């Protein structure tokens, strides 16, 4: 339930700035600004908020608040809280940032990547029904197949990796990133060394 302890000016301004920032990032999440701001507010608040408090702090209508709260519940980014003796529903956000990112990635994968893969598979069926008449058609078919193969591997990679994206595995993840960075640096160094031409060799002698 809402805390009666008043916030300091610094705390209040920090929450306002955080909510605005989260709203500006909404397009990167694939969600609307209001949905992002509600999530940001619930993430920033230590205590659960009811719909009236959310409407008041964000200056939004009840219909807008209810619609976006339902969406956030579907994404599993917030949870509904009940207090004994209270008829109102209260809401709180998932506070573990690792879980938040995993949920967003998983949801976007389902809503965006999977439909693309399904549509590409449907496109491939056009070739099955009509046959392939020339080399260019065959090449285009292979490009679509390569795209589908990549999306399927990306999905498998995401599903396999997401369970390990958490703070408990932070040390392991840091080591993994360092190995990838070292490999990339080594690869970049090799690419930077260009073989000398005969003309350059003659000039160096």
Tell whether 125 is covered by a domain: yes
Mean pLDDT of 12-29: 85
Question: How confident is the model over 123-136, as pLDDT tens digits?
Answer: 888 887 766 678 88
Interatomic CA distance for residues 32 and 38, integer angstroms: 10
Tell whether 60 is covered by a domain: yes
Q: What is the pLDDT of residue 205?
A: 47
Q: Are residues 112 and 145 in the same domain?
A: yes
Mean pLDDT of 65-79: 93
Q: Are residues 67 and 112 in the same domain?
A: no
Residue 135: domain span: 98-168
Q: At what angle are helices 51-58 and 62-74 packed, to 10 degrees? A: 110
Mean pLDDT rounded to a whole number for the chain: 84
Q: Are residues 87 and 107 in the same domain?
A: no
Q: What 3-state DSSP class applies to 73?
A: helix
Give 3-state DSSP helix, strand, coil % of the chain, rounded to 5.
75, 5, 20
Mean pLDDT of 163-171: 81
Q: What 3-state DSSP class applies to 160?
A: helix
In the DSSP assignment, the letter for residue 136 is: H
The H or E element that residue 39 is part of is: helix 33-44
Q: Are residues 111 and 161 in the same domain?
A: yes
Q: Are residues 118 and 61 in the same domain?
A: no
Question: How confident is the model over 28-68, as pLDDT tens digits?
Answer: 777 889 999 999 999 999 899 999 999 999 999 999 999 99
Q: What 3-state DSSP class applies to 193?
A: coil
Confidence of residue 194 (pLDDT cuts 50, 70, 90): low
Q: Are residues 32 and 89 in the same domain?
A: yes
Domain end among 48, 75, 95: 95
Mean pLDDT of 194-199: 53
70-73, long-range: CB < 8 A, 24+ apart: 71/31, 71/35, 72/35, 72/38, 72/39, 72/42
Domain count, the chain: 2
């Amino acid at each position: 339930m809402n805390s009666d302890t008043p916030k300091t000016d610094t705390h209040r301004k920090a929450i306002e700035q955080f909510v605005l920032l989260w709203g500006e990032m909404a397009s990167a999440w694939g969600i609307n600004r209001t949905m992002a701001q509600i999530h940001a507010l619930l993430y920033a608040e230590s205590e659960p908020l009811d719909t009236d408090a959310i409407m008041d702090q964000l200056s939004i209508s009840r219909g807008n608040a209810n619609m976006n709260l339902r969406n956030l519940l579907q994404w599993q980014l917030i949870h509904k809280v009940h207090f004994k003796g209270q008829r109102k529903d209260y809401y709180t956000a998932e506070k573990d940032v690792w879980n938040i990112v995993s949920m967003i990635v998983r949801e976007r994968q389902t809503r965006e990547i999977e439909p693309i893969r399904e549509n590409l598979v449907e496109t491939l069926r056009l070739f099955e029904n009509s046959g392939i008449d020339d080399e260019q058609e065959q090449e285009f078919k292979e490009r679509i197949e390569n795209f589908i193969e990549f999306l399927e591997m990306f999905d498998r990679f995401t599903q396999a990796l997401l369970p390990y994206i958490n703070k408990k595995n932070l040390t392991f993840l840091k080591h993994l990133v360092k190995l990838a960075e070292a490999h990339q640096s080594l690869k970049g160094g090799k690419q930077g060394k260009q073989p000398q031409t005969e003309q350059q060799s003659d000039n160096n002698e």
